[in-house]
Structures are given as C-alpha cells and as structure tokens.
Structure 1
Amino acid sequence: MNNSRQSDIPGYLYALDGMRAISLIFIVIFHTFQQSWIFYNLKISPDKYLFNFEIFQRYGYVAIDSFFVLSGFCLFYPIARSMFGECEFRGWKNFFIKRARRIYPSYVIMLILTILIPSFSYIGGMYDPKSFTNVAHNVIMHLLFIHNFDSHTIGTTISTAWTMSIEVQFYVLFPLICIPFRKKPVLTTVVMSLVAVLLRFILMANANISQPIMSAITPIYFDVFAFGMISAYFVVYVRNKVKCIDKLKLCMTIISALSIFSAFGYMCWLRKISFPNGVAGDVYFRFLYRGIFSVLIALFLFTACFSYGFWEKKIWGNKFFVFLSSISYTVYLWHQNVFIFLKNHNIPYSTQNPVMNDRAAMDGLTLICWTVSILAGIIITNYIEKPIVKYGLKNSILKLLELIHLRPPQKNTVRSKE
C-alpha cells in the first residue's frame, strides 16, 4: 500500500467530485438550450468568438453517460477496496439501505411537488393530472422506478427521472453482476459490453419500439456502468500492487488531461455526424457511439486518481466542484421541472409567441432556474438528505424535533444504523 496515498484510502477521490460537477453543468446547459433556444457565446468582435458554448449546449446530453460511469465506479469502489483488504464490505442489506436513503428523500420530495403542483410537469398527452387513475399510475411506477417500461409514464412528472429508473434497476442487478466481476473483472467487462452493444443493434432494427422507451432500457447501459466498475477496480489494484505508481504521476496527469480533451474532441465530432431522418441525434449517440465517450471518462477517472496534486486536488477537487457535486443529485432532479413551471406560468413575463424569441425573458428564465435549483439543492441536501443518509428517517425526524424544541434532548437519540 502506498503510504503517500493513505489519507485518500477512506474513499475520498477528488476526480469524482470534479467529473460529477462538470457532468451536472453539461446536463443543465443542454436542457437550458432545449427550453430557451439560446446560445451563449463570448465574443471579441461581431464576427469572432473568444469562446462558443454552442457545442456544450447541443451535445451536453453525453454527460448522462459520465454520470453512469461515475455510478459504476462509486458502486464497485468499496467492494474493490474490500477485495484488497482496505476495508470491510458490510453486506448487501446495508448496501440497499444506504442506496435507498441516498435516492429516495430528494426524489420523493420532487415527486410530491409535481403531484401537488401539476404545472411543474408537462401536462397533456400521456399525463393527465386531473385523472386520479392516471396520477396514481404515474406515482406507483415512479416510486418503484419502473416508469421507463411504460410510454405513458416515461418523461412525466419528474422529467429527468428516466435515468433514475436505470440507476435503481442496475442497483438491483448489481449484487449478481458482482459475482463474476470479483473473480474476472476484465472478462466480465467485456461480456457486459458485448451484451449492451448487441442489444442496442437489435433494438435499432425494431421499428415497433418508441425511441424514448428504446433509450431507457437498462441493459443497453451495461457497458457504461462496467467501464466505471473496471476503472474503480484498477484504481484499488494499482494502489496496492504497483509500487512504482508514484513515479508515474507525470504520465498519469498527461493521460488524464488527454482523456478530457479527447472527450471534448468527441463532442466536436458528434457535430459533424449526419443522423438518419427521424432519429434524434442524442438517441443515435446512445446506440452507436456511447462506448467511446464512456471509455474516455473511465480512463480519466483512473489516471486522475494517480496524477499530480495540482491536477487532481486543485483543479478537479476545487471547492466549487466539491460544493456542486454535493448538491448535484437534487439539482439534477429539479432543474428541468423548474424550467417547465416557469414557462407554464410565463415567468419572466413576455408577450412574445413563442416566448423563446424574447432573449431577455429567456435570460431571466435561465437565471431563475439555476438559482432555484441550486437553493433547492442546498436546502434539501443539507437538511433532509444528509441527515437521513447518516441517521435514518426515524432518527432524523427525532433530531429535527429536538432542534425546534418540540422534543426534549435525549442521549443516544440519534444514532446511525449503518
């Protein structure tokens, strides 16, 4: 074990914060473009750009896969550490309890909000907030995280929640996947990748499945999750087995930087691809090219963990990225629905039709959306989600009652049940 990295062994890897923060920014600016039709650029003259954000706004959807790579990494990282004696794996019951505590609080709050205030969601089409049966069906499907199976529930209520159904379904499969992965991580990664690619080609040949449903089938993301898992495995393997890793910091830093620049180059390449008529570009990406981007993100995570401190900690682990990473889940759940709510209520007010023609209103819409989403992220993450993750729901409520003096302080009232 490398003594120079003992302080990181409890699990804190700075590159994860940076990648999670960047991924959130990309997703939000992609949805900002979807809602506002506005490109943001820094011009040095009427005809010259200092920086053009258009590519990030058009192709920010690729960050969905970086979130899945991160998820695969974070899921397998503690298991990999237990394989090499760095920590003890505390069992699958504890695993699912911690996942539920992490996922459900923000999710349920957002779901309740969309039910109580229907204008937070897209109204019409498949979703009718005036129909009790329709609403009940949507709520049940979302609470069970199976809304990606039904064209009547995918994209309703929480508009970004289709990815959460994929996440949770992968959690359920994860213990089974870990059985071969622990023994043959490389071979299992190859098999998961082949399964995902083969299934994607089969689905592309089936014209009877709608594109939204087709893009939200969990097994087509097996390769993306697997790349994150194998990256986590090799981080722990190298940390324990490769004694000269500290001598390779320059090489690792260079490869890490090249991975990020290559990911940007990949987005530029997407811009040049001609997609078939009737197939959305983001859907086409998910079926044919996602493996390229996912491998680059996994390679970045691996190499960044062994890079120079200024790159790993100062750049990717800066305070802003750490802050944004900590609230990323809630912001991700909220931002698109806040956009929808503001547009449904014509906030900021505009007389233009469509409202996207009003640049000032769209700038205000973007500012309000970012502000509300970040505030919601701060409040829900720090005062609801984190206490529940640490103490559990019951003990979190007891602690809250003590804080507001509705219950006398008691010793050992609040205790983590991990």
Structure 2
Amino acid sequence: MRTRSGRFATIDGLRGIAILLVVWFHVWQITWQSAVIPVVNLSLQPLAETGFIGVALFFFISGFVLMLPYAQAHAERMPPPSLRQFVLRRFFKIVPSYVLCIAALIAIGYQTYPNALAALRDVAFHLLFVHDWFAATSGSIDGVMWSLGTEVQFYVLFPPIAYAFVRRPAMVALAMLAVAIGWRAWCVASDHYFLSQRMQQLPAYLDFFAAGMAGAWAYTAIALHRPTIARRTWAFTALSIAGLAGIVAVAGAYYDHRFDPEWPNRSEPYLRPALALAALAAALGSLFAIRAFQRVLANPALLFLAAISYNLYLWHQPIARELERLHVPPIATADPHDDRVWQIAFWFVAIPAAIAISAALTYAFEHPLMRWGKRFETRRSRAAQRRHAEQRHAELVEAPPQS
C-alpha cells in the first residue's frame, strides 16, 4: 500500500506512531498527567513514560528508507542512487529545518550562553552534527537534537555500509548488531558518569539501523522474487500485529523497571535488540498485510503526523516548555502537578500549538525547499547524463577501427 507520492503508507503509519510516542513522553514529563482510561480502567501509562522508544523507531525507519532504493537497484540489476543524489536528498530534508530551529531558539532566548565562545562552540558542534559527542553540548539548544547527530553520522557511514550490505546482507547486519550490543555492554561496564550520553550515540543504535536495512532487503526479495510468499497476507498481518504487540511489551518491560537505578540505561542492553526485532516484524508484516489492516495502520491521522514529524520532533518540546514558563494556560496552584484542570488544559493548548506550527513549517518551508532540491538534483542528473553520453560518443568516434 503506497501513498500518492509513492511512499509506503504503513511505514509512514509507523512513523506517525513514533512521533506520537515522543510527543506524548515529553508532554507527560511536563504535566505528569495520568494516562489511565477510567471507563474501561485501561492504563496507557507504560507508553506515556517510555515514549523515548519512539526515537529508536525513527532510526529503524531511517534504515529501511535509506536501504530500500539500494536493495531494489541490486535486485533489478540497475545502478544504485548516486552519492550526489543521496547527499542532496538528505541535505534538503534535514539541514534547512534544523538550522532554522537552532537560529530561532537562540534568537528567542530559549538557549542562552555565558559568553560568545560558549555560543560559538555549541552552534559549531551542532552544525557539524557532533554535539552528541560532548557532554556540554549533547542536550543543549533543543534536548531532542542529540538524535540528529546520531542520524547524520549514520548518513556519513551509510554509502560504504550499503555497498557491503547488498553483497553480504546477513554478515553486515550481524556485524552492526554485534557493535551495538558490544557498545552498550561497554557503556554499562565503564564510567557511569557518561552512561546516558554514550547510550545515545551512534554505535548504541546500529542494530536499529541494521534492522531497518534488513527489512528493506527482505521486502525487496519477497516482492520481486517470492510472489507466493507475498500472497500470504493473513500470515503477514499476524506478524505485524505481533510486532506491534512486541513494541508495547518492550515499553511495559521498560516501565516495570522505572524505579531501578540509572533507568532506563540499565535495561538497554537487552531491551533494545527486542525492540528492533519487534519493529522489524511490525514493518515487514505490514507491507504484505491485508488491505483492511494496512488502512488502519496508515490512517489519515497517523499519515498527517508522519508528514509533519520532522518539524514536530524539533519544535514540540520548546513550544511546550515555553508555554509552561509563560503559565499558558494559567496555573491555579503552587505546584502545577497538583492542578488537575491545568494538566488537562495544557494538553489542549500545547499539542495543537505544536502541531499547527510544525505543519506550517513543513508545508511552507520544508516541502518547498525539498521540491526545489529535487529539481536541482534532476537538473544535475540530466547534465551528468548528457556529459556521459557526449564522452561516450567521443570515445566511440575516436576509437581506432577494429580489424
């Protein structure tokens, strides 16, 4: 099931779930609003308090989306996307909105500095996407931006990884899994002062990127070469449901240990591989599931959240924090967590505000730039094709006749 733009709708549905979890988690951190549905006495508190797993789901989806065109090109014996195409697409998707957010948050005083040198260092490290390497800058400007460092660092490594993956997919995926597990084990065994920061760095999430890449590879192999398997839609539906249930189960396992020292980092070494496997099952199963299930997972609300997910990810926390600082809506008690009316009202103010601003930035800023970048990419690609054709023609003309 694809959207009009050719994207996989169920993968975008998972993206919508991921951003929903992240936003829910950060707003819960501000309000402490209970997530129990009173009529049926159903507690969604584990999802509210462990919404950080949405970031890991984003990494999984990135691995899938990045790998898919390479897997398809390899399967169809076609040339893969060029390095120029890869760089341009990632640049126009990530950098402009990121830079705008940094500039705006510093301009309004959301992030302040004691001196110009500290400001220069912080901004420079963020623009180089290495801010998550250093404790002083890992959580600065906008707390969620640490993941952009992890993401872009993976982009730098991706072309050679993709080259190796299409030739030895199992070996490369297992190597990435081994690095991730080894890194997390080293983090737990080493100096715990930097434990949280190190658990957010690229090596600690390589298994999620690997799982996404494996999902793209498996989808391509099944869709192109195993049509009899692809027709087992009920089995794939069950697989996707099991994967979604697995994600909820992992959230519950995190939640059960929330009072442990250094939570959630102590649980990461064994829960992250389980979460990556659950994400793989949910995504791969959804791509071949029955249409009714696909429509549920790729419903209009989740697709809309997926469409604005990048800007919503960047902006939701600063918007919510500024509203809290400005007492919008008004707080009637000394401790806002004792004001039940404020807790509920805050959701009805902060969430619509974040969605409205993110949607405006997505459709008025991000998408126009991406369309311009695509036209630029197309022009450069056509020019390169013409140069290649002219060079080939010259070679044929100048070549000596064969006897």
Relative to the length of structure 1, the TM-score reads 0.85
Residue 185 of structure 1 pairs with residue 169 of structure 2 = yes
Residue 251 of structure 1 pairs with residue 235 of structure 2 = yes
Rounded to whole Å, the distance in 1 between the matches of 2:182 and 2:173 is 14
Q: Which residue of 1 aligns with 2:263?
A: 280
Q: Which residue of 1 aligns with 2:292?
A: 310
Rounded to whole Å, the distance in 1 between the matches of 2:326 and 2:196 is 27
Contact 1:246 1:306 survives alignment (8 Å) = yes
Choose from 23, 30, 36 the match for 1:28.
23
Q: Which residue of 2 aligns with 1:116?
A: 107
Choose from 233, 252, 261 the match for 1:268.
252
Q: Which residue of 2 aligns with 1:406?
A: none
Contact 1:391 1:417 survives alignment (8 Å) = no
CA distances 1:77-135 after superposition (whole Å, capped 9, x unpaired):
111111122865330111011101000122112111111112x34xxxxxx43522222
Rounded to whole Å, the distance in 1 between the matches of 2:269 and 2:122 is 27
Rounded to whole Å, the distance in 2 between the matches of 1:237 and 1:147 is 38
Residue 104 of structure 1 pairs with residue 95 of structure 2 = yes
Task: Report the Cα offset of residue 349 of structure 1.
Answer: 2.5
Task: Report the Cα offset of residue 244 of structure 1.
Answer: 0.7
Q: Which residue of 2 aligns with 1:328?
A: 309
Rounded to whole Å, the distance in 2 between the matches of 1:162 and 1:63 is 14
Rounded to whole Å, the distance in 2 between the matches of 1:86 and 1:316 is 32
Q: Which residue of 2 aligns with 1:299?
A: 281
Contact 2:25 2:48 survives alignment (8 Å) = yes
Task: Report the Cα offset of residue 165 of structure 1.
Answer: 0.6
Contact 1:71 1:228 survives alignment (8 Å) = yes
Contact 1:115 1:135 survives alignment (8 Å) = no
Q: Which residue of 1 aligns with 2:11?
A: 16
Q: Which runs of 5+ in 1 are unaligned?
A: 122-127, 397-413
Q: Which runs of 5+ in 2 are unaligned?
A: 382-403
CA distances 1:272-298 after superposition (whole Å, capped 9, x unpaired):
337642x122x2333331010111111
Contact 1:227 1:294 survives alignment (8 Å) = yes
Q: Which residue of 2 aligns with 1:164?
A: 148
Rounded to whole Å, the distance in 2 between the matches of 1:417 and 1:367 is 46
CA distances 1:296-336 after superposition (whole Å, capped 9, x unpaired):
11111111111111112x11222222111100110011111
Choose from 336, 353, 356 the match for 1:355.
336
Contact 1:43 1:51 survives alignment (8 Å) = yes
Letter in 1 for 2:70: I
Q: Which residue of 2 aligns with 1:58?
A: 49
Task: Report the Cα offset of residue 352 of structure 1.
Answer: 2.6
Q: Where is the helix percentage greater, Structure 1 or Structure 2? A: 2
Choose from 356, 375, 381 the match for 2:356.
375
**Number of residue-to-residue matches in the alignment:** 381
Rounded to whole Å, the distance in 1 between the matches of 2:322 and 2:78 is 45
Contact 2:89 2:373 survives alignment (8 Å) = no
Choose from 324, 327, 332 the match for 1:343.
324
Rounded to whole Å, the distance in 2 between the matches of 1:334 and 1:289 is 28
Percent identity (aligned): 23
CA separation of 1:387 and 1:285: change in aligned 2, threshold 3 A = farther
Q: Which residue of 2 aligns with 1:365?
A: 346
Q: Which residue of 2 aligns with 1:210?
A: 194
Contact 2:242 2:281 survives alignment (8 Å) = no
Rounded to whole Å, the distance in 2 between the matches of 1:385 and 1:87 is 30
CA separation of 1:348 and 1:275: change in aligned 2, threshold 3 A = closer
Rounded to whole Å, the distance in 2 between the matches of 1:133 and 1:240 is 55
Relative to the length of structure 2, the TM-score reads 0.88
Q: Which residue of 2 aligns with 1:411?
A: none
